Amino acid sequence: RERLALPPSVRGRCNPKSTTGRLDVFTRVITDATPRFDEVAAGYRGALYLEVSPQSFPVRVQAGHSLNQLRLVSGASLLSDAELVELYRTGPLLYDDDDRPVPIERATFNEGLCMGIDLSGRKTGGIIGFRAHPNPPAVDLSRVDHYDAGEFWEPIKRPGRDSYILEANRFYILVSKERIRVPPGFAAEMVVYDAGAGEIRTHYAGFFDPGFGYGDGGVLGTKVVMEVRAREVPFLVYDGQISFKVLFERLADRPGRLYGVGLGSSYQNQTLTLSKQFRRG
Indicate the residue type of 225.
V
CATH class of the domain comprising 81-250: mainly beta
pLDDT at 105: 97
Phi, psi of 279 (to 5 degrees): -65, 140
Domain ranges of the chain: 3-73, 81-250
pLDDT at 267: 55
How many Cα atoms occupy the beta-carbon half-sphere of 205 within 13 Å? 23
Strand partners, 109: 113
Edge-to-edge strand ranges of the sheet holding 39-40: 39-40, 11-16, 68-73
Phi, psi of 104 (to 5 degrees): -60, -25
pLDDT at 257: 84
CB 184 within 8 A of CB 248: no
CB 274 within 8 A of CB 153: yes
Are domains 3-73 and 81-250 of this chain identical in fold?
yes
Exposed, middle or buried: residue 134 (CB in 10 Å: 0-12, 13-18, 19+)? exposed
Rounded CA-CA distance 261/130 in Å is 29
Q: How many residues does the chain have?
A: 281
> What pTM value is reported for the model?
0.91
Fold of 3-73: Deoxyuridine 5'-Triphosphate Nucleotidohydrolase; Chain A (2.70.40)
Q: What is the pLDDT along the chain (281 residues), one digit of tens a residue?
A: 789 999 999 999 999 998 999 999 999 999 998 889 999 999 999 999 999 999 999 999 998 889 999 999 999 999 999 999 999 999 999 999 999 999 999 999 999 999 999 999 998 999 999 999 998 999 999 999 999 999 999 999 999 889 999 999 999 999 999 999 999 999 999 998 776 655 678 888 789 999 999 988 788 999 999 999 988 889 999 999 999 999 999 999 988 888 776 655 555 566 889 999 999 86
